[in-house]
């Protein structure tokens, strides 16, 4: 999620203002700093930057548990998946975010 989400008191169901919270898991989000247009995208292509961030995110499981996309009817990226109305959106093979990571990896020939 983008840094701006850190002050969205309703995102992830958190009622505490950002300034009052101790450093929480969101400060470790690999998607921090990405624009809302990618983190809260409803379609695969605009969601790709966030999905790529998820692939290296240290709080992936926590993100998915907290957002609980199916229960919250979430729209956007959480836990390495794209959700629309709480249902997982299939990512077409030609947009596979992890395939792109493999190509970009410095150890990849």
Q: For the segment 56-95, give every residue that binds ligand SF4 (CB under 6 A).
A: 57, 59-60, 63, 77-80
Least distance to ligand SF4 from the beta carbon of 20, Å? 20
What order do you get walking across the sheet with 76-78 strand by strand? 76-78, 81-84, 87-88
CA distance 84 to 4: 21
Question: In the set 6, 11, 12, 30, which binds ligand SF4 (CB under 6 A)?
Answer: 30
CA distance 74 to 84: 6
Q: Could you give the string, one character per residue 31-50, with x where binding to ligand SF4 holds by CB under 6 A and - elsewhere?
A: x------------------x
Q: What is the DSSP string of 64-99?
A: HHHH-HHHHT--EEETTEEEETTEEPPPPGGG-HHH
Binders of ligand SF4: how many residues, by CB under 6 A?
15
Task: By CB under 6 A, name the binding residues for ligand SF4.
Answer: 1, 29-31, 50, 53-54, 57, 59-60, 63, 77-80
């Amino acid at each position: 999620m983008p840094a701006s989400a850190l002050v969205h008191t309703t995102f992830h169901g958190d009622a505490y203002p950002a300034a009052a919270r101790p450093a929480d898991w969101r400060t470790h989000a690999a998607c921090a700093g990405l624009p809302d247009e990618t983190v809260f995208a409803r379609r695969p292509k605009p969601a790709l930057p966030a999905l790529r961030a998820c692939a290296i995110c240290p709080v992936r499981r926590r993100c998915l548990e907290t957002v609980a996309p199916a229960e919250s009817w979430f729209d956007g990226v959480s836990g390495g998946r794209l959700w629309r109305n709480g249902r997982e959106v299939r990512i077409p093979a030609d947009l596979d975010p992890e395939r792109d990571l493999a190509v970009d990896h410095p150890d990849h020939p």
